[in-house]
Amino acid sequence: MPLPAIQPNVRVVTLKIDDQDLSAREDETIIEVCRENRIPIPSLCHLDGLSIWGGCRLCVVEMEGQSRLFAACSTRVAEGMRVRTNSERLQRYRRTIIELLFAERNHICSVCVSNGHCELQSLAQGCGVDHVSVPYRQAPYPVDSSHEMFRLDHNRCVLCTRCVRICEEIEGAHTWDIMGRGSDCRVITDLALPWGESETCTSCGKCVQVCPTGALVKQGTSAGEMVKDQQFLPILARRRHAR
Amino acid sequence: MHLEDLADKAAEFRAEEAAVEQEIRVCVAASCQSSGSVEVLAALRQAHPDGDQSCKVKGVGCMGLCSAGPLVAVADKGGELVDSILYRDVTPDDAPDIMGSVRGAPVERLRCPTEQPFFSRQHRIVLENSGIVDPVSFKGYVVAGGYAALLQAIIELTPAEVLHEVTTSGLRGRGGGGYPTGLKWSTVAKMPSGQKYVICNADEGDPGAFMDRAVLESDPHRVLEGMAIAAYAVGANKGFIYVRAEYPLAVERLRTAIRKAKRGGLLGSKIADTEFSFEIEVRLGAGAFVCGEETALMASIEGLRGQPRPRPPYPAESGLWGCPTLINNVETLANIPPIIREGGDWFASIGTERSKGTKVFALAGKIHNTGLIEVPMGTSLRDIIQVIGGGIPEAKAFKAVQTGGPSGGCIPERHLDIPVDYDSLKTLGTMMGSGGMIVMDETSSMVDVARYFMEFCMTESCGKCVPCRAGTQQMYGLLDRVARSQATRADLSLLEELCEVVQATSLCGLGQTAPNPVLSTLRYFRHEYEERLADASARASASRSHQDE
């Protein structure tokens, strides 16, 4: 979401996250409050400045008095809420979800251009994923190198749709979208044209900067060389907001 | 049009057919059509003596016993199905005999007794007109008392009074979740006035479920009337029926019904000279199961990719194009006209403490009487399967009944005596679902059943959230290994672990309930999984000893 406009009648609530007493504006989501207060919550699809997606499910948290889990990125805070972000159960679920992602497509870090600068990789390290217990699918996916500046490697894609959202919401081009269902889902440019032939792409490169893995990268990068600008979207959002 | 005008109209329509004493009703719903009822209807029309005003041949909706179709009933005008003379497996060649029997003796060789429990044990509210009125006839519906509830609501009752009746009735959502309908309606009604929508969810996708199809094909006006009453109660002026394109007959009949209702002044602007206006549009689903999930359905109506979004905000607060939206299932809405007509207390007197009214079930699988039944909530599963359904054919033993489609589970023999209601089914690890019941006999493998439903969930996953997209695929792979006797004990525990994660972390109901068929078969038929594992280890040790030699 774009930085929220300051509304005069938004109230402030107090809540407890992992036994810390915190205050928050009532229009904030749990993940925003956590990030503000340096409480780590893993997430792949959420990105400050883009709309809520709720797809990776890594940010699920427990709430006192509720048996079901809540995604921190899509749940607003409320007065008196008591949230737990890091129980043993949540850690186990998160490890499994990351394992599912690793097994779904090809994520061999050693040969990836994003090695060392990859959000999936650092999440796996942070969550203690030291092996993958589900069988690898080993399905081959194509690589689209048709764009003169950028490259799309479906094998590394986690379908977080950050590229889809930033292209529509920030750049306003809506070059990216998703086709297919279930495991056949793929990000596409225009109506599944090669990226280089896209008529709507402005070659702004925003999608590349926000892609959490090595799926969208600059041409000419080799293993470990693709470093993305983490601050780019917050800075952009802040400047736009100021105007 | 006012209530008196409607009564005048009904009288006028009735007078047009004053000479008719007997009706020959031919089922023209999808199931009987596929076994040739259209030809039967044509043959009967041909055999009908010209100028005979006392007997009328007409197409009607579903009579329930689909396995015996094409069904033809000879009845007194407007008479109940149970009082009629019913013929089964009718062919066009039988037409002269049936026509000849109208004033004579019934054709015994085609008789299908209506005294049998399949008919006599039913309690028809949703299906009250089904098999009796002509689904393409506006006049037929009006003569049967149709649209009186709508006019009564908008002329005599305030929206609050309508809400009160619906709340008193205790009606719960028939789409599967069982959310109290009155509560849902009043939430939408309480939202500030402005653009609001009513949606009828007719994207029936569960394998083996065809209740909504039958209602739409047999009595489409009833659903329109229910929607219009809902719109009046919550303050909406625009409705959508989201129906799957795989139901072409239902779509056609709905479109006809909407057109005729508009012409009759019962839909459109300023209905009954009040300020209440209501338009209905039909939208077709393009074959995605997930579009039955309410947020995905709304995205699809908006022209977007049909995938769910996180709730809250619920549709009642922010639905179609961000406006407050009421979304109800076909059967829920079909219950509304009788509730307004007879009152909420009447409805609440039927069923159990916490599940009121009746429920339509689609019986399918290894059962004698395949078809559609409507029974009061609280009827036991044993009654439904053994008595109404006529038991298992070929003297096989009953094994399990699957309810709730891919979100539900299998119930074994020892739990057959539980009353069917929302809460009892939940305690057994399954759910009411939309009403599909698939009966399985001793020859069915429960591992195969679980694998089938998992494959369904895997291919129908929209791919938005990781646990459902990648988790169902992994679970399917593991179930496939079990089914092929290739799985190890470690695979089984991994399967259980994945069930837990997918259930707890998925975004929408489809993912959250996808593990249910596995969990419930593991709960009641674990030995079938173990046996397949035992095979695997036995074979492994056999091949090892073979190598040793």
Residue with tokens 């043993």: A88
Q: What is the CATH classification number for the domain harbouring A82?
A: 3.10.20.740
| Total domain count, chain B | 4
Query: Residue A194's pLDDT is what?
Result: 97
- A61 has a chain B CB within 8 A of its CB: no
pLDDT, tens digit (0-9, with 9 covering 90-100), for A22-53: 999 999 999 999 999 999 999 999 998 899 99
Whether residues B471 and B425 share a domain: the answer is no
At residue A123, does pLDDT exceed 50?
Answer: yes
**Distance in angstroms (rounded) separating the CA atoms of residues A93 and A83:** 17
Count CB neighbours of A22 within 10 A.
Answer: 18
Whether residues A237 and A122 share a domain: the answer is yes
DSSP string of B200-258, one letter each residue: EEE---STT--HHHHHHHH-HHHHHHHHHHHHHHHT--EEEEEEETT-HHHHHHHHHHH
Whether residues A111 and A81 share a domain: the answer is no
Whether residues A20 and A47 share a domain: the answer is yes
Question: Is residue B136 a part of any domain in this protein?
Answer: no
pLDDT, tens digit (0-9, with 9 covering 90-100), for B113-165: 999 999 999 999 999 999 999 999 999 999 999 999 999 999 999 999 999 99
Ranges in chain B, pLDDT < 50: 548-549
Whether residues B310 and B415 share a domain: the answer is no
Q: What is the CATH classification number for the domain harbouring B89?
A: 3.40.30.10
Question: Is residue B353 a part of any domain in this protein?
Answer: no
Question: Is residue A2 a part of any domain in this protein?
Answer: no
Among the three residues B348, B383, B406, which one is the final residue of a domain in this structure?
A: B348
User: SS3 for B510?
Assistant: helix
Residue B450 backbone dihedrals phi, psi, to 5 degrees: -60, -40
Q: Residue A24 is part of which domain span? A: 12-86
Residues of B whose CB is below 8 A from A178: 305, 463
Whether residues B318 and B222 share a domain: the answer is yes
**Distance in angstroms (rounded) separating the CA atoms of residues A97 and B498:** 9
Question: Is residue A170 a part of any domain in this protein?
Answer: yes
Question: Is residue B266 a part of any domain in this protein?
Answer: yes
Question: Is residue B411 a part of any domain in this protein?
Answer: yes
Whether residues B437 and B453 share a domain: the answer is no
Whether residues A152 and A233 share a domain: the answer is yes
| Total domain count, chain A | 2
Whether residues A114 and A170 share a domain: the answer is yes
- A71 has a chain B CB within 8 A of its CB: yes
What six digits make up the tokens of A207? 């999608």
Whether residues B181 and B311 share a domain: the answer is yes
Residue from the list B309, B312, B505 with its beta carbon closest to the beta carbon of A97 = B505
At residue A17, does pLDDT exceed 70?
Answer: yes
A182:B494 CB<8 A: no
Instruction: Give me the interface pTM, i.e. the ipTM.
Output: 0.93
Q: Residue B424 is part of which domain span? A: 358-444
Whether residues B95 and B223 share a domain: the answer is no
Q: What is the CATH classification number for the domain harbouring A221?
A: 3.30.70.20
- A137 has a chain B CB within 8 A of its CB: yes
Question: Is residue B5 a part of any domain in this protein?
Answer: no
Whether residues A176 and A238 share a domain: the answer is yes
Residues of A whose CB is below 8 A from B465: 54-57
B474:A134 CB<8 A: yes
The alpha carbon of residue B3 and the mean position of all alpha carbons in its chain are separated, in whole angstroms, by 31
Question: Is residue B526 a part of any domain in this protein?
Answer: yes
Whether residues B195 and B338 share a domain: the answer is yes
Question: Is residue A195 a part of any domain in this protein?
Answer: yes
Whether residues A23 and A68 share a domain: the answer is yes
Query: Residue B28's pLDDT is what?
Result: 95
DSSP string of B310-379, one letter each residue: -SSSPTTTS-GGGS-EEEEEHHHHHTHHHHHHH-HHHHHTSB-SSSBSEEEEEEEES-SS-EEEEEETT-
Question: Is residue A213 a part of any domain in this protein?
Answer: yes
C-beta of residue A17 within 8 angstroms of C-beta of residue A34 = yes
pLDDT, tens digit (0-9, with 9 covering 90-100), for A71-103: 999 999 999 999 999 999 999 999 999 999 999
Distance from CA of B500 to the nearest CA of A (A): 9
- pLDDT band of residue A138 (cuts 50, 70, 90) is confident
Question: Is residue A100 a part of any domain in this protein?
Answer: no
**Distance in angstroms (rounded) separating the CA atoms of residues B183 and B9:** 35
Phi-psi category of residue B474: left, alpha or beta, with phi > 0 → left and psi -120 to 50 → alpha: alpha
C-beta of residue B60 within 8 angstroms of C-beta of residue B132 = yes
State the DSSP code for A215: S
Choose from A61, A181, A184, A213 for mutation: most chain B CBs within 10 A: A181
Whether residues B429 and B456 share a domain: the answer is no
What six digits make up the tokens of B208? 């083996």
Residues of B whose CB is below 8 A from A158: 466
Whether residues A135 and A213 share a domain: the answer is yes
Residue with tokens 């889902």: A185
Question: Is residue A4 a part of any domain in this protein?
Answer: no
Whether residues B183 and B329 share a domain: the answer is yes
Answer positive or negative: Cα dihedral of B449, B450, B453, B455. Answer: negative
Strands A176-179 and B398-403: unpaired
Q: For residue B390, what are the contacts with CB-CB under 8 A and spacing of at least 6?
A: B116, B117, B118, B367, B368, B369
At B19, the amino acid letter reads A
Whether residues B484 and B410 share a domain: the answer is no
Whether residues A110 and A204 share a domain: the answer is yes
What six digits make up the tokens of A64? 């006192």
Candidates B48, B214, B221; CA nearest to B148 is B221
At residue A232, does pLDDT exceed 90?
Answer: no
Query: Residue B548's pLDDT is what?
Result: 47
Query: Residue B104's pLDDT is what?
Result: 83
Among the three residues B65, B97, B116, which one is the final residue of a domain in this structure?
A: B116
Residues of B whose CB is below 8 A from A185: 463, 469
Question: Is residue A31 a part of any domain in this protein?
Answer: yes
Residue from the list B462, B471, B498 with its beta carbon closest to the beta carbon of A181 = B462
- A12 has a chain B CB within 8 A of its CB: no
Whether residues A165 and A231 share a domain: the answer is yes
What six digits make up the tokens of B375? 């029974």
Whether residues A127 and A237 share a domain: the answer is yes
A181:B470 CB<8 A: no
What six digits make up the tokens of B22? 């007997």
Whether residues B366 and B264 share a domain: the answer is no
- pLDDT band of residue A7 (cuts 50, 70, 90) is low
Candidates B175, B123, B178, B125; CA nearest to B354 is B178
Whether residues B306 and B215 share a domain: the answer is yes
Question: Is residue A56 a part of any domain in this protein?
Answer: yes
- A149 has a chain B CB within 8 A of its CB: no
Query: Residue B438's pLDDT is what?
Result: 95
- A66 has a chain B CB within 8 A of its CB: no
Question: Is residue B471 a part of any domain in this protein?
Answer: yes
Among the three residues B97, B116, B135, which one is the final residue of a domain in this structure?
A: B116
What radius of gyration, in Å, describes the C-alpha atoms of chain B? 25
Candidates A106, A107, A116; CA nearest to A227 is A116
Whether residues A23 and A69 share a domain: the answer is yes
